[in-house]
Amino acid sequence: MGRLFGTDGVRGVAGRDLTAGLAMNVAAAAADVLDGMGAFAAARSAGRRPAAVVGRDPRASGEFLEAAVVAGLASSGVDVLRLGVVPTPAVAYLTADLGTELGVMLSASHNPAPDNGIKLFALGGLKLPDVIEDEIELRLHGRSGPGTGPAGHARLPGGGFGRVRDAADDTESYLAHLLSTLAGPGGELPSGEQPLAGLQVVVDCAHGAASELAPLVLRRAGADVLAIGAEPDGLNINDGSGSTSLGGLQAAVTAHRADAGIAYDGDADRCLAIDADGQVVDGDQILAVLALALRDAGQLAGDTVVTTVMANLGFRKAMQAAGIDVVETPVGDRYVLEAMREGKFALGGEQSGHVILLDHATTGDGLLTSLQLLSVLARSGRPLSAVARVMARYPQVLINVPGVDKALVTSSAELKAAVEAAEAELGTSGRVLVRPSGTEHAVRVMVEALDAGQAQRVAQRLADAVSTLG
């Protein structure tokens, strides 16, 4: 698999790349590393064992991988609270809310059912820093299994083996937290108040982790909810449904004359929306709507929003017109979060629908994002199509050019000249981005322009230039 940890944890084909043995060893190594770094010191000084929450999405492989992770943790002296099938952001929230030293989520997000992954959260619900992931990898190279030392010698944890209990009921505090965000700063939602009353919403849960909780929390908020893609069988996650396949949701929204549609991905850390006419409202548009709503409420820290280099030019222009600063990061939610924490900003996100509302969550949360978006509709009394018009989405063409030397992207004089020519042609009404892929042996070409045909022509010309690189 190359480097074990990618941009979002450990991921691979379950049973081939991600085996039960590897999952067990990753969990045990994480416990060893965190213990060695002093992350368990407070628990031990309080006379208790450290604890971890473990959740999963409904993939069939999640069942045996959950058992393996639980075994790895318990054998290392960590108590385990088993949450069952929950969204990734629920694990992050409950890691912080329950005060556990570790959170583990088993999911491959929007990937197909054969894949799975392991995401790790530290105390407070933040993703583990790269330096700790690197140390876990080093520890794995020196161990032969959980409950063993670096040389493979069996050992008994000093505080005894961890105990395991089911903790599915603890997800109620996560749902209560989500609803409390609709009450404004400071308080819980008053009993009986339903801020989304009057909205008819179709939700596509991708047969994933949000299949039960998303319809439930939206109904508690007062929405009239039709749920599709909410019958997981362990094999159908993301299969023709959810945020990567919007056709079914578009058809359902228009057929039922709903006010809006919401599409989650497999682990519900992101969402996209559909307006009443069946048009897609992407992550850039959602981010723009929320930025203006927070600014108007005096809750947009620094009047700044964080996004990635892939954000649509229309987003940048809309924010500029509204007097909102934009901080740009490389592609990846962890980079967005790093910039938000460094600048103490409240809002950031990606075009994919991964939105981080840092006043309420430590990671992207599709359920939280959808509640906040729908609350804008409910308060304004305007349709989603009108609300989303706060930004005009420029036509954007993406071309991947495989098999070229990515290092030459920054050193080729010929490519630099081609990019400069493209930028001169587009002027201020377009944008060019040529960058090496962070996950594939490929170069990504992105062009935006007011005219889709021009964007396609310019992008293809640049892709041809990239293909000549060694």
- Residues 126-160 have pLDDT tens digits of 999 889 999 999 999 875 444 444 434 345 677 78
Rounded to whole angstroms, how far apart are CA atoms 216 and 66?
25
Using alpha carbons, select from 291, 303, 305, 306 the residue that is nearest to residue 376: 291
Q: Name the 3-class secondary structure at 4.
A: coil
The DSSP secondary-structure symbol of 394 reads -
27-38 tens-digit pLDDT: 999 999 999 999
- Write the CATH number of the domain with boundaries 5-173: 3.40.120.10
Please tell me the pTM assigned to this model: 0.91
Name the catalytic one among 109, 211, 243, 370. 109
Architecture of 396-467 per CATH? 2-Layer Sandwich (3.30)
Q: Give residue 66's identity as a one-letter amino acid code.
A: E
**How many Å separate Cα 316 from the centre of its chain?**
22
Ranges for all domains in the chain classified under CATH 3.30.310.50: 396-467
Tokens matching residue 185: 């700063």
Query: Does domain 198-388 fall into CATH 3.10.270.10?
Result: no
Mean pLDDT by 10 residues, the chain (470 residues): 76 95 96 94 93 98 98 97 98 97 97 96 92 92 53 60 96 96 70 89 98 98 98 98 97 98 98 98 98 96 96 96 96 91 97 96 97 97 97 93 87 91 92 83 91 94 89
How far, in Å, are 35, 44, 45, 253 from residue 41 at the CA level? Answer: 7, 5, 6, 52
Residues linked to residue 116 through DSSP beta bridges, in sequence order: 12
For residue 459, the number of C-alpha atoms closer than 13 Å in the C-beta half-sphere is: 24
User: Distances in Å between the alpha carbon of 432 and those of 327, 333, 396, 445, 462?
Assistant: 18, 22, 10, 8, 9
Average pLDDT for the chain: 92
The partner residues of 316 in beta bridges, in order of sequence, read none
E strand residue ranges, 14-173: 51-56, 79-85, 102-106, 115-122, 164-166
| Residue 461, both tokens | 């010309």
- Residue 414: partners with Cβ closer than 8 Å, 6 or more residues away: 465, 468
Is 109 labeled as catalytic in the residue annotation?
Answer: yes
**CA distance linking residue 319 with residue 325, whole number of Å:** 7
Q: Of 302, 35, 52, which Cα lies nearest the Cα of 163?
A: 52
Q: CATH 3.40.120.10 in the chain, residues?
A: 5-173, 198-388
What residues contact 62, with CB distance under 8 A and at least 6 apart?
56, 85, 106, 107, 116, 234
State in Å, rounded, how far the first CA of the chain is from the last one.
25
